[in-house]
Every structure is written in structure tokens, then in C-alpha cells.
Amino acid sequence: MRKFFARYKTFAIVLAVLSVIIVFCIYSLLKPEEKLPVFQPDMVNAELVDSTVQYVRKYHRIADFELVNQNGDTITEEFYDNKIYIADFFFTTCLTICPVMTDHMIKIQEEIKNDPEVLLLSHTVFPVSDSVPVLKEYALEKGVLDEKWNLVTGDKKQIYDLARKSYLATKSTGDGGKYDMIHTENFVLVDKKKRIRGFYDGTKPEAIEDLLHDLEVLKTEYN
């Protein structure tokens, strides 16, 4: 009996290895690789999208921009070249959803602080009040890491156009004028090609978990 097992030991080992490989291949075929959609304006609730881009079906990208961050540095789209980033819209004196959103963004910052691929971008929707010094004070209070997270202010119309025409993130309507105001809970996941890959309710902990999961899925596209 011992001779029998000795004779077929190598065969048994090879057969076991082949069985594992075959099972893995079958599992891989039956479970397709997870991949995030690329959102186009016509895929999003029309209430969230500016009328000028509502029917765009392909090639949508975040538009170029030029804003100023909490340190007074000019931030353009080039800062986010070849980076994944998460964007939102807030204002420092907001007492409703913004504090919750900021706390959740702080959680995300903690998760990505050592990840060179991922950055954060928060746009104030009240730039007349949220000056550079105000944003800096807010950043210090919240523990914002300058190298990971830009809080930006600037031209109101540019910011509102970004929210409505690029990030497809707000239901409000208006022309960016004096009495125009947007307020959205959306966090937007943007890939390295400046394409939208996900929307998440920044007030809900479970949505933040979904975002962090999708972030890992997105990163596999570049590995």
C-alpha cells in the first residue's frame, strides 16, 4: 500500500493543483470583473443637470477650472491630472447637511491619506463669504491635510456651472446671480480621465462605505 501511494504521489499533487486552477478559472468566468459605469448627463436625473447638457450621451468630462484654495494657491484641473478624486459642494456657515458631509469627508481623508492616487476637492457655494482666510480657519478646525484636500473658492458663476454642467450634482436652477443658491449632498467620484464614476449621498454612512468600495474597484482599472 505504501508503495502504491509513493508511486502516485506526484500524480496526485499535480491533479490537486490542476483542480484548484480549474475551479478558480470557472469561478472567474461565472463572476465577471466588477467595473463602475461612466456617467453621462443623459444617464442622470434631469433635475440634477443643466439644460444645456441634459442630452449629452458620451465624452462628458469635468470642465477646466481655475479656483483658489485655503492657502491662497491657484488650483486648476491640472492639479488633478492622473488622479482619482472625490468632489463635493459646501459652505462653512452651513448648519444642516454640511457638518455631516464634512465629517464624512474627513473619514475618507483618513482612508486615503497615504494613497498617492486619490485626492479630495470641496467647492464653496457661498464664495462671497467663504474667503481664503475663512476657508483656512475652517481647514485648520477640521484637520484638513493640504496635500490631500483642497477647499476652493472663486467666481460664483464658475463654481455653479461646475456643479450643474460638469458634476451634474444639484437640483437648483438659476443663473449664478446674486440670489442664486445651490445646496447638494452629493459626493462625486471622478476618475483619472475627469469622468464621473459614481454619486453618493454624503450625509449617509452607508453611502460612504459604498464610495470607499467603489474607489477600490476604480483603482483596479489602473493596476
pLDDT at 170: 86
pLDDT at 183: 82
pTM for the model: 0.84
pLDDT at 27: 45
Closest CA to 52 of 157, 159, 161: 161
Topology, domain 41-220: Glutaredoxin (3.40.30)
Question: Distance of CA 122 to CAs 25, 102, 125, 148, Å?
Answer: 43, 9, 10, 11
User: What distance in Å separates the CA atoms of residue 120 and residue 214, rounded to the nearest whole number?
Assistant: 15
User: What distance in Å separates the CA atoms of residue 69 and residue 123, rounded to the nearest whole number?
Assistant: 9
What pLDDT band is residue 18 in, cutting at 50, 70 and 90?
low
**Alpha-carbon Rg for the chain in angstroms:** 23
What pLDDT band is residue 23 in, cutting at 50, 70 and 90?
very low
- State the chain's mean pLDDT as an integer: 88
pLDDT reading at 218 higher than 50: yes
